[in-house]
């Protein structure tokens, strides 16, 4: 959790107006906070997390009188002197909220410093799980809930979770307590570095294919009425149907809701766009900056870039071919192709801006040596030159 975000949430939880209006939650109060978010005064993520804590300690009868609500709106934006502040806190105490503010703040600081949350906050907290500071190297890593690490040297690893949360990789096995609905939520992570790939079988039988430079956060066992994971990088997901527990994939910008289906998610932090491609079934996708959901049909791709959502018809097979060792592209810029190749092979590929603007279509066999793959572009376009120096590849136009 970033320090600025932490401070913002604490300020909200100590703000009498926020607590009271969050407790009342009518259309007018929602519009007020949405306007503050749209004007850049408050982030949606901070607002939702603060609401989560307010809801967690909501009293059984929190309704305010109309006079009390009017008093709140009168005081918004007005400097409150100490006597008015004491009077307002007595009003909040009567509502059963003010006495919880200090407690909420303490709970927040403790839970997120230990990367643990109760199930009520798990939906938001899964996005806050961060990489341990000692993760490095070129090995695939499994980070267990106690931050114990399993390092895998294979180029492609198969990771399988049992129904009880035990994790198995070949001859390696780790048993861990998955907890239950009443215990603190626990999360595991898989981190795939450059040039590596992995498959991950979750405890519910859903299977994920992780592309290079990807990270997935997930519970060892799915408790509660939802199955949620967080993704950075690229995955192809085959979700086991469960009508009673929908599956949710979260990224930094998107939320994908499914019941049982196959789809590809691309959400690299360095890319300007994130995308979802549906292979079969049905998914709904919502950007984190809006409440509007978009439903995809098979062979449709949703792209989110610069706060804009676009949907187009594609051949879904082109976007999942990487899991089978192929890369299919149609009229793509060379800059985009080389970025994907650099990630896949874990190599440094540099190119001139002029070369990056060239467009290509074709199919690459990713099992071949990178030098041979890159030299293939020079055979297609006689204006290109490929050279290697100091462990890096250079792609430029001929003078």
Per-residue pLDDT at 399: 72
- pLDDT per residue over 215-249, tens digit each? 999 999 998 888 999 999 999 999 999 988 999 99
Q: What is the pLDDT of residue 49?
A: 74
d(CA 237, CA 158): 14
For 167-220, the pLDDT digits (tens) are 999 767 777 655 554 444 688 999 999 889 999 999 999 999 999 999 999 999
SS (HEC) of the chain: CCHHHHHHHHHHHCCHHHHHHHHHCCHHHHHHHHHHHHCCCCCHHHHHHHHHHHHHCCCCCCCCCHHHHHHHHHHCCCCCCHHHHHHHHHHHHHHCCHHHHHHHHHHHHHHHHCCCECHHHHHHHHHHCCCCCCCCCCCEEEECCCCCEEEECCCEEEEEECCCCCEEECCEEECCCCCCCCCCECCEEEEECCCCEEEEECCCCCEEEECCCEEEEECCCCCCCCEEEEEEEEEEEECCCCCCCCEEEECCCEEEEECCCEEEEEECCCCCEEEEEEEECCEEEEECCCCCEEEECCCEEEEEECCEEEEEECCHHHHHHHHHCEEEEEEEEHHHHHHHHHHHHCCEEEECHHHHCCEEEEEEECCCCHHHHHHHHHHHCCCEEEEEECCEEEEEECC
Tens-place pLDDT, residues 279-310: 999 999 999 877 889 999 999 999 999 889 99
Q: Point out which residues pair with 238 in neighbouring strands.
A: 207, 262
Average pLDDT over residues 331-354: 94
Total-model pTM: 0.67
* Domain covering 325-397 in this structure, CATH number: 3.55.50.30
The string of pLDDT tens digits covering residues 90-146 is 334 334 444 444 444 444 433 333 333 333 344 444 555 555 555 556 889 998 887
Instruction: Report the topology of domain 126-317.
Output: Jelly Rolls (2.60.120)
pLDDT of residue 223: 87
Domain locations along the chain: 3-113, 126-317, 325-397
Q: What is the mean pLDDT of residues 247-271?
A: 92
**Averaged pLDDT, 341-362:** 94
Check residue 134 and give its pLDDT: 53
């Amino acid at each position: 959790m970033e320090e600025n975000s932490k401070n913002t949430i604490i300020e909200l939880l100590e703000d009498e107006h926020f607590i009271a209006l969050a407790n009342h939650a009518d259309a007018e109060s929602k519009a007020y906070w949405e306007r503050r978010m749209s004007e850049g005064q408050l982030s949606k993520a901070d607002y939702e997390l603060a609401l989560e804590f307010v809801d967690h300690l909501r009293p059984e009868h929190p309704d305010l009188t109309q006079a009390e609500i009017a008093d709140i709106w009168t005081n918004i934006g007005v400097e409150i002197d100490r006597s008015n502040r004491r009077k307002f806190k007595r009003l909040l105490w009567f509502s059963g909220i003010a006495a919880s503010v200090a407690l909420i703040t303490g709970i927040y600081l403790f839970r997120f410093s230990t990367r643990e949350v109760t199930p009520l906050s798990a939906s938001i907290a899964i996005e806050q799980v961060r990489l341990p500071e000692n993760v490095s190297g070129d090995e695939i890593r499994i980070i267990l809930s106690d931050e114990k690490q399993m390092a895998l040297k294979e180029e492609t690893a198969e990771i399988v979770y049992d129904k009880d949360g035990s994790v198995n990789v070949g001859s390696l096995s780790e048993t861990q307590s998955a907890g239950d609905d009443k215990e603190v939520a626990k999360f595991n992570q898989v981190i795939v570095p450059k040039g590596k790939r992995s498959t991950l079988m979750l405890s519910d039988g859903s299977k994920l294919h992780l592309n290079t430079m990807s990270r997935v956060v997930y519970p060892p066992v799915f408790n509660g009425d939802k199955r949620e994971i967080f993704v950075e990088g690229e995955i192809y997901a085959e979700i086991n149907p469960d009508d009673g527990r929908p599956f949710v994939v979260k990224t930094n910008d998107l939320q994908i809701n499914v019941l049982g289906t196959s789809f590809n998610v691309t959400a690299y932090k360095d890319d300007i766009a994130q995308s979802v491609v549906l292979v079969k079934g049905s998914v709904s996708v919502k950007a984190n900056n809006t409440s509007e959901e978009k439903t995809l049909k098979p062979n449709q791709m949703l792209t989110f870039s610069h706060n804009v959502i676009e949907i187009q018809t594609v051949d879904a097979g082109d976007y999942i071919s990487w899991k089978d060792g192929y890369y299919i592209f149609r009229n793509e810029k060379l800059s985009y192709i080389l970025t994907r190749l650099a990630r896949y092979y874990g190599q440094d590929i540099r190119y001139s801006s002029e070369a990056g603007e060239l467009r290509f279509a074709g199919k690459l066999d990713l099992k071949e040596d990178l030098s041979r793959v890159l030299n293939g572009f020079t055979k297609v376009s006689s204006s290109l030159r490929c050279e290697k120096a100091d462990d890096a590849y250079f792609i430029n136009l001929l003078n």
